[in-house]
Amino acid sequence: MEPTQLVDEGLEILSPSECLRLLEETHVGRVVLANGALPVVFPVNYVLVGDDITFFTGEGMKLRAAASATPVTFQVDHIDLERETGWSVLATGQAQEAAGSELARATALGLRPWAAGMRTHLIRIRPDVLTGRRILT
């Protein structure tokens, strides 16, 4: 594990490897897409396949982002209301539709859509940049 770096304002900066570890142990995150001035947020259940964030989607904004190879933001966090602490990780990278071995690996890891409907497209986001913060307690 790389050493973490202390910042002011009571937040610890997480290293990319720590961000990846947190992404791996979490199973719900948020796809955040630019939509003019007002971003939109889509919670999804996901699994990490290698370093790729993978989730299923139907037709819509997430699939269009993948079709146009648009960079997207993916966010996960864990907030502990009792202890008033938490962490947040942001991944940015290109979204692309995936299939073949990546689809097989994601399914083997238990990935399937929660909501009913035709969510048959597997999207993967390959993070270019991983940043994270944790509240110091």
Q: Find out whether 79 and 86 touch, Cβ atoms under 8 Å.
A: yes
Torsion of CA 64, 71, 26, 120, to 10 degrees: 20
Stretch that binds a copy of itself, among 15-23, 48-56, 65-73, 96-104 (CB under 8 A): 65-73
Tell me: does residue 82 bind a copy of itself (CB under 8 A). no
Partners of 123 in beta bridges: 55, 97
CA distances from 112 to 45, 46, 54, 93, 117 (A): 8, 8, 10, 22, 12
- Smallest separation (angstroms) from a copy of itself to the CB of 101: 26
Tell me: does residue 115 bind a copy of itself (CB under 8 A). yes
Size of site (CB under 8 A) for a copy of itself: 41
Residue numbers at the binding site for a copy of itself (CB under 8 A): 8-11, 27-28, 30, 32-34, 37-43, 45, 58, 70-73, 75, 77, 79, 81, 84-86, 88, 90, 92, 114-119, 135-136
